[in-house]
Amino acid sequence: DAGVIQSPRHEVTEMGQEVTLRCKPISGHNSLFWYRQTMMRGLELLIYFNNNVPIDDSGMPEDRFSAKMPNASFSTLKIQPSEPRDSAVYFCASSFGVGSEQYFGPGTRLTVT
């Protein structure tokens, strides 16, 4: 298996622009997670899906952030409009079953200037 796939690996954009991050989970996994990592706040859960349905989006910082999972093999995290404080590494992870380990993608490093 190729593991969790994320694109792009790096994204540099200007403040006010729309940013879309993409994730393909491991085939057969039924849970998908979006995390954000910053020096100040560490690793934070933004949102997670179970069987393509959003279960908990309480970690999404504000309305500028939105996430979708139209099918079992694809998810997007969109920021519109982006701000410099959104600069971080965004990870996607997937798992199967309650209590099971999560497998992480390589992350997307987002820089908003």
Partner 1 sequence: AQTVTQSQPEMSVQEAETVTLSCTYDTSESDYYLFWYKQPPSRQMILVIRQEAYKQQNATENRFSVNFQKAAKSFSLKISDSQLGDAAMYFCAFMEGHSGYALNFGKGTSLLVTP
**Which residues from 42-61 bind partner 1, rule CB under 8 A?**
42-43, 45, 48, 50, 55-56
Of the candidates 59, 74, 83, which has an alpha carbon nearest to the alpha carbon of residue 105? 74
State how far the alpha carbon of 36 is from the alpha carbons of 14, 50, 62, 70, 71, in Å. 19, 19, 14, 21, 22
Told to check if 28 binds partner 1 by CB under 8 A, we report no
Told to check if 95 binds partner 1 by CB under 8 A, we report yes
CB of 91 to partner 1, least distance (A): 6
CB 23 within 8 A of CB 73: no
- Residues in the site for partner 1, rule: CB under 8 A? 31, 33, 35, 42-43, 45, 48, 50, 55-56, 89, 91, 93, 95, 97-104, 106-107, 109
